Structure 1
Amino acid sequence: MRIVRALMSNASSMRKHIDYYSRFSPSPLSMKQFLDFGSGENACERTSLTFLRQELPVRLANITKKIKLLPDPLLETPSVRLVQSWYMQSLQDIMEFKEKDADDEKIRNRHNDVIPTMAQGAVEYKETYVQGDLWPRGLWTKNVQYFLDRFYMSRISIRMLLNQHTLLFGGKVRVNPAHPKQIGSIDPHCTVTEVVRGKYAYENARNLCDRYYMNSPELVLEEFNGKFHYDGKPVTVGYVPSHLYHMVFELFKNAMRATMELYEDSMDYPPVHALVALGSEDLTVKVQLLYSAASHLTTLIWLETPPPPTQPSGESFHFITRSQHTILIAGYGYGLPISRLYARYFQGDLKLYSLEGYGTDAGIYALSMEYIEKLPVYNKSAWKHYKTMREADDWCIPSKEPKDMTTFRSF
């Protein structure tokens, strides 16, 4: 009986914490603020902890409130309930460690599988309620799209805060030997072509392509530095290399898959074209894909491809053999949509421009370091987005137009 009372008391306490902290809006930071705080004498572990103890409960409570706005059948799926429990536990951990250091690493690792687990919940819900016409398809798509955009953007922001603190103060050595110039997870002078080509995005995508198709296209990479007036200096920007890597890696995977499947058994594959261009401040990375079907790449709902039987953990990547019918090179349906959120996190974007019969240009746009985090905020009126998002029926429907032109009256 005491255990039951303790659990009820704990649940009541957590509800109060969530209600309290969800009244506040998150405090977005710019990349410049992250850099200024983490460099030199400004880096203070105690100040960082104080900020995290104030800010993390707000961001966690906001996203927990958003989860509770989902339709009950979706909330009741085992996968979504598991994700919800992770956020509740993390908030509880922070509350319990008000007087001493919380285990930031444990909190961060707890959420490694949020993306595939939430994907599984969405698939379970779709299979039960959408395919059975218990929930309108158009409404499902818009509502879940709206939620997932905000949910995953919040996740990116929370991991950014935890990563910065852990990398700056998590160990005795303040400098990461592998990336000595980085301040936390941010490189003030990130050489873009090294991330794009080097040992990172292109090479990793090419390795996957080679393992599946036994061949891969070359890369033609152009670089334009308009900031330094054509003096040959490589393009460098202040950015989060891991975010840039994730975006470009996903684009290369799609570009290579399109090329290999379009040319099939040909031994002469056209190269993948990429362009890195820097203006006075803003960066653009463009990758050309050899097909024009861009619409299915931009939705943040994996309705067509369910998560694999063995889900990848966090941002790590695992190759699955062709005989298992699910392979990484084909994607799980959320690589590019998540990439788009990484781009939008600091007010940039990832856009696809499709030319029918020719191909698709994918552009990543990263803005200057002055731009702040793009953060969702809980709003009580948000529940309306989960009830109705239908367009007004004030447009012509082709199937209802008269087939006989003689029925038109003269004006």
Structure 2
Amino acid sequence: MPDPVKILKRLQSTKATLVNLHQIWSSSNHVAKAHNKHEALIRPSSFLYTELATRWALVLKNIEEQAPYGLGDTPTIQWQQQRYHRIIDLLTSRPPPDTPERAKQFGEWLHEFMSEHQSALLGVGRSVNEALDRGATPEQMDDERTNKFFDDFYTLNMGSRLFIAEHLALVRGDETRVVKAIDPAKVAERASADAIRVTSAYFTSSPAPKINIFKAPKVSQTIYVEEHLHRILFEVLKHSIARTHNHHASKASHLSRDRTLPEIRIIIAEGEQDVSIKISDQGGGFPLSTCERIWSYYHSRPPPTGNTTPSFASEINGNSPDPKTQISSFVDYAQVPYESYGHGMPIARLTSRYFGGELAGVHMEGYGSDYFYNLSRDRHIMEGLPKEH
């Protein structure tokens, strides 16, 4: 029987295989158009079989070797560490999907695994508060090492989630492929509705600000990851809605359900190289000295208390937490209550950069903020994984 320790060491010494949107798009088209889809799925299944093991081993290596200032000793990160050991063992103990039947079984296993993997990542932000409770200082939780640790953790997981979701869409043979031609305006509409829904349950003193979308007449579809664009816009819009509520609530003593908040504007423009999206709010902006805090994992951490927090310590100790507070009750980032898990804006910027884009903010203290997202239309830009991986 293979030694799990040796397998893990081998995987952790392996580099991840970088891909780009064109490769994913072309491979998926090949499977979708194949006469024998079961045969065609063997090759992408085999790639996932080896690549997921490598990437998960690199996540585990990041946890074990790079977690600074006691983060690795927090219940949340320990739970993640145990989870990655378990899923690596489960994957490497399976036979390779080198026949149509094994490829089918591999797809079924990925389907069962996907919901757990998505939801398990949502609560990582709790580890910052846990480290503070154990003696870490705010300065340590806000420094370059801490931010790099979370950047690497989330980035390494981003590709795994993308690969699994795209593969499962191919297995189903439906229209839910992840890498596809998208209409940015339609994605913006859905992100706006989701952001209003989530924040309205938290800010109940007045209706949410209206979100108006303006686009150039000829904004065409572009090949991209729809979930990535949705996540970026969703997180920025949540942030802008919250800033607008808080800024105008602090200026008004007559809060009422009839009070109208200033609108948030989304402007979408198209160039030869980029699709550019601007989100403008009147949420009070930030002073120059603190505007970079929105990209900090420390400053975007969830509240220190709250009944939506899963009990990671009880899971580690083998006790079943209250089902109402389990992280598995939320299978997607757009379903979780506002302020439950944090890290929204840093993850939005990470996501924007994954295939060569950029998210930046310009702030006017006392008035509001403009956020600019440049989505690169170049399908050949490779994934933005950490260089050492």
Q: Tell me the distance in 2 between the aligned counterparts of 1:273 and 1:308.
A: 32
Residues 106-131 of structure 1: per-residue CA shift (max 9 Å, x gap): 33233233334322223211221214
- Mapped pair 1:352 → 2:375: no
Q: Tell me the distance in 1 between the aligned counterparts of 2:69 and 2:10.
A: 23
Structure 1 residue aligned with 2:273? 281
Structure 2 residue aligned with 1:240? 225
Q: Tell me the distance in 2 between the aligned counterparts of 1:314 and 1:349.
A: 27
Please state how far the C-alpha of 1:303 moved relative to its aligned partner. 4.6
Q: Tell me the distance in 1 between the aligned counterparts of 2:120 and 2:356.
A: 23
Residues 69-97 of structure 1: per-residue CA shift (max 9 Å, x gap): 12484323222111011111111122111
CA contact (8 A) 2:209 2:262 kept: yes
Change (3 A) 1:207 1:58: closer
Q: Tell me the distance in 2 between the aligned counterparts of 1:86 and 1:347.
A: 30
- Mapped pair 1:167 → 2:169: yes
Answer with 117-126 or 141-150: which moved more.
117-126
Change (3 A) 1:354 1:81: same
Please state how far the C-alpha of 1:299 moved relative to its aligned partner. 1.0
Q: Tell me the distance in 1 between the aligned counterparts of 2:194 and 2:116.
A: 26
Q: Tell me the distance in 1 between the aligned counterparts of 2:193 and 2:123.
A: 28
Structure 2 residue aligned with 1:78? 75
Query: What 5-or-longer segments of structure 1 have no aligned partner?
Result: 1-8, 225-231, 321-327, 380-411
Structure 2 residue aligned with 1:315? 332
Query: What 5-or-longer segments of structure 2 have no aligned partner?
Result: 97-101, 250-254, 310-326
Answer with 273-282 or 100-109: which moved more.
100-109
Pick aligned residue for 1:147 from 146, 149, 152: 149
- Mapped pair 1:370 → 2:380: yes
Change (3 A) 1:234 1:343: same
Q: Tell me the distance in 2 between the aligned counterparts of 1:278 and 1:30.
A: 21
Structure 1 residue aligned with 2:178? 185
Please state how far the C-alpha of 1:308 moved relative to its aligned partner. 3.8
What SS class does the counterpart of residue 150 from structure 1 fall into? helix
Please state how far the C-alpha of 1:307 moved relative to its aligned partner. 6.8
Alignment of 1:190-229 (within 5 A): 190-197=182-189, 200-211=190-201, 212-224=204-216
Change (3 A) 1:234 1:247: same
Structure 1 residue aligned with 2:248? 263
Q: Percent identity between the aligned chains?
A: 20
Pick aligned residue for 1:89 from 86, 89, 92: 86
Please state how far the C-alpha of 1:54 moved relative to its aligned partner. 2.1
Change (3 A) 1:35 1:123: same
CA contact (8 A) 2:244 2:261 kept: yes
CA contact (8 A) 2:308 2:340 kept: no
Structure 1 residue aligned with 2:324? none
What SS class does the counterpart of residue 113 from structure 1 fall into? helix
What SS class does the counterpart of residue 135 from structure 2 fall into? helix
State the aligned residue count.
338
Pick aligned residue for 1:23 from 13, 35, 44: 13
Q: Tell me the distance in 2 between the aligned counterparts of 1:271 and 1:130.
A: 40
Q: Tell me the distance in 2 between the aligned counterparts of 1:204 and 1:117.
A: 20
CA radius of gyration, larger in: 1
Structure 2 residue aligned with 1:52? 48
Residues 207-233 of structure 1: per-residue CA shift (max 9 Å, x gap): 344442331222232212xxxxxxx33
Q: Tell me the distance in 2 between the aligned counterparts of 1:118 and 1:332.
A: 7
Q: Tell me the distance in 1 between the aligned counterparts of 2:341 and 2:305.
A: 6
Please state how far the C-alpha of 1:240 moved relative to its aligned partner. 1.6
CA contact (8 A) 1:80 1:117 kept: no
Residues 41-100 of structure 1: per-residue CA shift (max 9 Å, x gap): 367210111111221121111111111112484323222111011111111122111334
CA contact (8 A) 1:115 1:314 kept: no
Q: Tell me the distance in 2 between the aligned counterparts of 1:118 and 1:237.
A: 32
Change (3 A) 1:151 1:307: farther
Change (3 A) 1:146 1:50: same
What SS class does the counterpart of residue 366 from structure 2 fall into? coil
Please state how far the C-alpha of 1:138 moved relative to its aligned partner. 4.1
Q: TM-score, normalising length from structure 2?
A: 0.79
Pick aligned residue for 1:340 from 333, 349, 360: 349
Structure 2 residue aligned with 1:252? 237
